[in-house]
Structure 1
Amino acid sequence: MLPLLLLLVFGIIDFGRMLNTQIRLTEAAREGARAVTITNSNAAAAPRVTAVLGSTPVSVGITNPCGSAGSTADARVRVEHAFTFVTPISGLAALFGGTGYGTVRLDATGVMPCRS
């Protein structure tokens, strides 16, 4: 009975951490896209994403069609992060799309309309 209880508790802990990280990534991607549309500069996205996430290591991809006059396209910022489990449940990470032992690739995309 104890192994089943521990599996449940460890799953709750890591799933909660993973969900929190996903929510933070989504918020950071939206803020990055907002920064791109306001400043019309790709250079504004990465610092804004880093400011929202703090020290979480991420990679940032930017699609910014806002430079042309009268553009009706959307600026997109994609943020990726390799989430690492902290409990022994990491062996089951492959069931959740794990990329290696104990890690899962999380990503989020923020989309904002270009300002005219």
Structure 2
Amino acid sequence: MPQLQSKERGAAAVEFALVLPILLLLVVGIIEFGRLYNAQIVMTNAAREAARTMAVTKDAGLAVSAAQAVAGGYTINVAPGTCTPDTQVTSTVTSQVDLLTGSWFTFGPVNLTGIGAMRCGG
């Protein structure tokens, strides 16, 4: 492989310095999107579990406990609906998820909502 002249080495360093911030921004954006997408899935599963528990047991306390168990480490607010025979119960789970880069760019937490529905009575 031929030796690069000193001017060409300097050009490569400048090109790298120009591309690196864009590459890092892209990687951090992918990581943040993945975290938020995972949190959204957790919220939806927690809402679905609350709706299922409410449809089977008709106990709002158990529905809230079931949703909190599914949510793991997230702090959630659960609003289970009421269940009457042959109707559909809907539960809503909301949470605020902090961003990893929030302190860098002064972005606040992101509000996520999960909604689950199930027919009452099994």
The answer to whether structure 1 residue 83 and structure 2 residue 101 are counterparts is no
Distance in 2 between the 1:45 and 1:113 partners?
14
One of 81, 89, 92 as aligned partner of 1:63:
81
Aligned to 1:27: 45
Aligned-residue sequence identity (percent) comes to 36
Distance in 1 between the 2:30 and 2:111 partners?
19
Distance in 2 between the 1:88 and 1:61 partners?
28
Cα deviation for residue 65 of structure 1 reads: 3.1
- Answer whether contact 2:102 2:109 (CA < 8 A) is retained: no
- Answer whether contact 1:84 1:104 (CA < 8 A) is retained: yes
Distance in 1 between the 2:89 and 2:104 partners?
35
Distance in 2 between the 1:5 and 1:88 partners?
19
Mark the runs of 5 or more structure 1 residues left unpaired by the alignment. Answer: 92-99
The answer to whether structure 1 residue 107 and structure 2 residue 113 are counterparts is yes
Distance 1:114 1:58, change over 3 A: same
RCO greater where, 1 or 2, for CA within 8 Å and sep 6 or more? Answer: 1
Distance in 2 between the 1:88 and 1:42 partners?
35
Deviation digits for residues 34-58 of structure 1 (CA, Å, limit 9, x no counterpart): 0001111111111001111122101
Runs of 4+ in 1 over 2 A off after TM superposition: 87-91
The residue identity in structure 2 corresponding to 1:25 is M
Q: Give the TM-score normalised by structure 1.
A: 0.81
Q: Give the TM-score normalised by structure 2.
A: 0.77
Distance in 1 between the 2:36 and 2:27 partners?
14
Aligned to 1:51: 69
3-state SS of paired residue (2:74): coil
